[in-house]
Amino acid sequence: MKNKIMKKIAIMGAGLLFISGCTTPKSDVEITQIGILQIAEHGALDNARKGFIETLAAAGYIDGENIKIDYQNAQGDQSNLKSMSEKLVKKSDLLFAISTPAAQALANETKQIPILFTAVTDPVDAGLVNSLIAPGGNITGTSDMAPVKKQIELLYAIKPDAKKVGILYNSSETNSKLQANQAKAVLTDLGIEAIEMTVTSTNDVQQVAESIVKQVDAIYIPTDNTLAASMATIKMVVEKSKTVVITGSVDDAMIGGLATYGIDYEKLGQQTAQQAIGILRNGQNPGILPVEMAAELTLFVNEEMAEVLGIDKDIIKID
């Protein structure tokens, strides 16, 4: 690695280079370069980044003092990821990918620099790791696999008379498709018809949302970058139609959903930062650090939306 860093470099198996020998940062040593790549700008991913940076700072790794963070955001355009990855790999000592496409882009560019990821639903299916227990290579992180079954059960508890439930997602996001399939299976078991409708970009969301609310009794939106960036639009549509929306993440429910039992992305970012600290401070090899699931899940009720829909917030519970 070309950057000036406050650590020594150790070769750890198969010729891979990993950060080693970091101690608590000191003012007389050189700065560690951390590259962050994010697929899009929306609440969930932004909060994951916030949790990551703040937890590093609390551990003594402060941007502008003993670390330097280079943050790149593709603004939802995957064609930007390759050039951004190339830029970050040239000068980073540690890489942090927020979302599956961002993680894949960085993993394609380097097999040496340690990579941490978050907001990746299925890192095995995405080809990022060999297994959750033993990732292999130079990469590990945290998964945002949502408790889809619990979320659909929450929807059913709120709308027990629902006959048709819409599932809205971007068909090009493999993570979203995985969750949509899981949701469809749970709905089928409950005797509810699942109606899938997909978008290809944020430009499609309003039209598709206005169409689906006419066909269903409630909507499920998995963790999906395109929909997450469009939750204000979803809110506008479902408030008018008085449609219950259960989301895959707390951040999405805060904006335009009624409720969820899901992941707090800021906490997920904090969890990933603890992995980063282990690499920076103790020279841990990411390839042998298990991928972690969210340490805790949160029942969140959007009280404003509950009032709009005429639903008593106190009846919204998880068994």
Residues 27 and 128 occupy one common structural domain: yes
> Is residue 1 in some structural domain?
no
Residues 25 and 125 occupy one common structural domain: yes
Residues 277 and 133 occupy one common structural domain: yes
Rounded Cα gap, residues 169 and 228, in angstroms:
10
> Is residue 2 in some structural domain?
no
Residues 87 and 20 occupy one common structural domain: yes
Residues 165 and 92 occupy one common structural domain: no
* Average of per-residue pLDDT across 14-20: 43
Placement of tokens 């899009």 in the chain = 40
Give the end-to-end CA distance of the chain in Å, rounded to a whole number.
Answer: 51
Q: 102-106, 173-177, 210-214: which range is least confident on average?
A: 173-177
Residues 164 and 112 occupy one common structural domain: no
pLDDT at residue 318, rounded to an integer: 82
Q: How confident is the model at residue 13 (pLDDT cuts 50, 70, 90)?
A: very low
Tens digit of pLDDT for each residue in 213-258? 999 999 999 999 999 999 999 999 999 999 999 999 999 999 999 9
Rounded Cα gap, residues 296 and 302, in angstroms:
19
Residues 123 and 271 occupy one common structural domain: yes
Reading the block at residue 231, the tokens are 């939750």
State the residue range of the domain holding 188.
148-262+298-315
> Is residue 64 in some structural domain?
yes
pTM score of the predicted model: 0.82
pLDDT at residue 234, rounded to an integer: 98
Number of domains comprising the chain: 2
State the CATH number of the domain containing residue 27: 3.40.50.2300
**pLDDT surpasses 60 at 21:** no
Residues 47 and 185 occupy one common structural domain: no
Q: How many Cα atoms within 13 Å fall on the side-chain side of residue 146?
A: 34
Burial class (CB in 10 A: 0-12, 13-18, 19+), 279: buried
Residues 99 and 214 occupy one common structural domain: no
> Is residue 3 in some structural domain?
no
> Is residue 127 in some structural domain?
yes
Residues 154 and 216 occupy one common structural domain: yes
Residues 156 and 192 occupy one common structural domain: yes
> Is residue 252 in some structural domain?
yes
Residues 172 and 158 occupy one common structural domain: yes
* Average of per-residue pLDDT across 85-112: 98
> Is residue 199 in some structural domain?
yes
> Is residue 70 in some structural domain?
yes
Reading the block at residue 103, the tokens are 């993680």
